């Protein structure tokens, strides 16, 4: 999970040759947590579960 990152940043991270051997990058299991998560205060921490739910919808 990348804090203080968005979708365009994830494209750069996944394409970075220096990170190619990292398991999360190699298996495309790295996720952007958004720009407001770098400080995880009360209000910004409320956004994290919503963002995770959006990125990983429940299987029905």
pLDDT tens per residue across span 19-54:
999 999 999 888 888 887 777 678 777 787 888 788
Rounded Cα–Cα distance for residues 42 and 40 (Å): 7
Q: Residue 19: what pLDDT?
A: 94
**pLDDT of residue 60 exceeding 60:** no
Nearest to 51 by CA among 40, 26, 14, 27: 40
**Global pTM value:** 0.64
Cα gap 11→3, rounded to integer Å: 14
Contact 6, 33 (CB under 8 A): no
30 SS3 class:
coil
Domain limits, the chain? 7-55
């Amino acid at each position: 999970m990348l804090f203080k990152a968005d979708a365009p940043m994830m494209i750069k991270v996944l394409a970075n040759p220096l990170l190619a051997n990292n398991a999360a990058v190699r298996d495309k299991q790295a996720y952007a947590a958004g720009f407001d998560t770098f400080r995880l205060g009360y209000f910004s921490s409320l956004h994290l579960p919503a963002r995770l739910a959006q990125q990983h919808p429940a299987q029905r």
